[in-house]
A and B are shown apart, each in its own frame.
Chain A
């Protein structure tokens, strides 16, 4: 068993949760999402986010629109769908339970 696979899976799941939470607050364009995640050290290289965003969009949890920018290329603004909000609600519940359980388990050892 490879540690990279496990941590990659973990990070991927948590990243999806974080992305949905960020966009749930307000519509963001890709670079803003990247900045927020990088500031919190959730993302090492930017490239990994694009497959995730595409997957969330294909699962109809997110939608996007293009907006012109005065200072560069057009920006892809993401917003959360009703389905995405429901999904995020479930994730929050699971996260709280997991967090609690993991804390209990690792503090005993």
Chain B
């Protein structure tokens, strides 16, 4: 048993079965996403609806004809998948979408001895972290503990760069799809190399524990 729905497409009535209706609905949603950055999006979508109505009309052999899934798939083949339009539209819209975020002070969780304050300051002032660490040590030596207090205050006050967005802003890199992708890839590589290291070490230690196996190699 299949439910039939009446729809009004570009002021034309059609009977359509439920599964075909769902398919059409999801296709229209995808189109809306594909054109979301295009100028005149509303008009484009309305024109496409008119065309779909025309194509339905060609398939409607008698007044009681019920549009089915096969009809919808044919229509989608003629009009094209939503992904086909995205390629063409994306080049224009991707330009000028980059908003260069101002640099912000963060603590860097990826490069730290204690709280990552030094590396965060390094990024912020554009100097190598090693100089800030040397300064910590020199001041730490002369100020007898005051610097530790300052460090703890900074540690509390400066937020940690948790998200990719934070890390890009910490380094003063523009936040856009390309840089985020690059950053995520970097992090992935880092994690995967860590995993490799761990495996290697575990294997080594287990070999040491079981000299019986190691002799087999």
Contacts and interface: CB of A to CB of B under 8 A. Distances in A.
Contacts of A76: 47, 50
A47 B85 contact: yes
Given A58-B40, A73-B9, A48 B80 contact: yes
Where chain B touches its partner, the secondary structure class is: helix
A76 B51 CA distance: 10
Contacts of B91: 5, 8-9
A89 interface: no
Nearest to B43: A54
Nearest to B42: A54
A7 to B, nearest CB: 10
A35 B15 CA distance: 27
B35 interface: yes
A47 B38 contact: no
A50 B44 CA distance: 6
A51 B92 CA distance: 12
Interface string B1-25: 0000000011110000000000000
B87 interface: yes
A46 B78 CA distance: 6
A50 B38 CA distance: 11
Contacts, number: 76
Interface in A19-56: 30-31, 34, 44-48, 50-51, 53-55
A50 B48 contact: yes
A43 to B, nearest CB: 9
Contacts of B50: 30, 73-74, 76
Contact of B47 (A5, A12, A50, A58): A50
Given A8-B87, A48-B84, A54 B57 contact: no
Interface string B53-90: 11001000000000000000000001111001101110
Given A4-B87, A30-B50, A51 B80 contact: no
B79 to A, nearest CB: 4
B114 interface: no
A99 interface: no
Nearest to B45: A50
B153 to A, nearest CB: 50
A71 B57 contact: yes
Given A45-B84, A50-B47, A71-B57, 15 more contacts: A4-B87, A30-B50, A44-B84, A45-B80, A47-B84, A51-B40, A54-B44, A54-B47, A58-B39, A72-B54, A72-B57, A73-B12, A73-B50, A73-B57, A74-B10
Interface of B: 9-12, 31, 35, 38-40, 43-44, 47-48, 50-51, 53-54, 57, 78-81, 84-85, 87-89, 91
